[in-house]
Structure 1
């Protein structure tokens, strides 16, 4: 099965290699490594791995936490295909059909962000305008933040992305077993949302239903 592992480790020569060696000893095949952060003597990396046989997130966390100096910040299942470029694919689809830009965006964000679901709410009344698969039928956001932000809510990790020009607020959710969205993930998602908004605006797309 495919898993995403978020690991904090000492930022020193050989540190990444030690984690890779430990994962190999556990039978995991590393497919991709993404560096999210390097500061204060530590690095935060996301590993996408193929793990032989069924393994729960808690089992994987327990096995990895035995490594000296390493903190496991999250282990969760992923459908991400390592080496692909889903953000480029998304923008190509939006450019080809900007009238459905935000519906396409909401459908794509869970895979782009290693999340479970996404939806877009209208700023005026909080109604759900677009929703991905697995999104709840109802969702209440009491005080949408004025800028991109992350928060915990009802055992979910949320990424909140306002699109003021379109009168929308995009929400991306990761369930409790996954870590909080990292600021690098938030910045990437915010840039993607901004590009989609620009494409929609240039095409003259306003707040109209699909």
Structure 2
């Protein structure tokens, strides 16, 4: 199974090696490392690993508890295959069929963001939902700018889509809170896709026939 581990560790030589050694003793194969943060002498990295058999977040944390300075912030299942380029695939789909750009974006964001589902909503009503979205959703008050929000059960990202006058909500029940690096990446993706989709709704005027 594919898992993503978010690990906070001292930003010093040998830090990644210690994490890799623990994962190796557990039989996990590291497929990808994503750097989220480097500041104040610490680093936050996401490890995508192939894990033999079933495991639990508690088991992973127990193994890392003996490593000085290392903290496991989250462990959750992922569907994103390392080496793939789902963000480029999304842009290609939208460029090919921009009229469906918003729906394509909502469908793609869960995989892109390591989440489980997403919806686009406006005026308290869902306009489009990804496949795994629940039937009943407590829609939060839309913020004026992109933000994260944590409830008792869910980690949320709220992303304004100014060109369409609505918001996209991205949710995951497992794993840690959304990191600011994840939020910034999602904002860039939404901006590009919404711009392409908005152009599809704008009529093209031939200047030779205008007037």
Range of TM-score over shorter length:
over 0.9
How many positions carry a matched residue from both structures?
A: 203
SS, match of residue 32 in structure 1:
strand
Structure 2 segments unaligned to the other structure (5+ residues): 204-211
TM-score by length of 1: 0.93
How many Å separate the matches in 2 of 1:69 and 1:205? 54
Query: Does 2:176 align with 1:192?
Result: no
1:178, 1:58 → 2: CA distance?
A: 12
> Of 136, 160, 170, which aligns to 2:158?
160
Task: Give the structure 1 partner of residue 48 of structure 2.
Answer: 48
Output the aligned Cα RMSD. 1.4
- Structure 1: any 5+ residue segments left out of the alignment? none
Structure 1 residue 26 displacement after superposition: 1.4
Alignment of 1:14-163 (within 5 A): 14-122=14-122, 125-163=123-161
Bigger Cα Rg: 2
- Contact 1:98-1:205 within 8 A present in 2 as well: no
State TM-score, norm by structure 2: 0.92
Deviations 1:71-109 (A, max 9, x none): 110000111100111000001000100111011111111
Deviations 1:10-61 (A, max 9, x none): 0001111111111111111000000000000000000000111111222222
SS at match of 1:49: strand
| Displacement after TM superposition at 1:138 (Å) | 2.5
Aligned partner of 1:169 in structure 2 is: 167
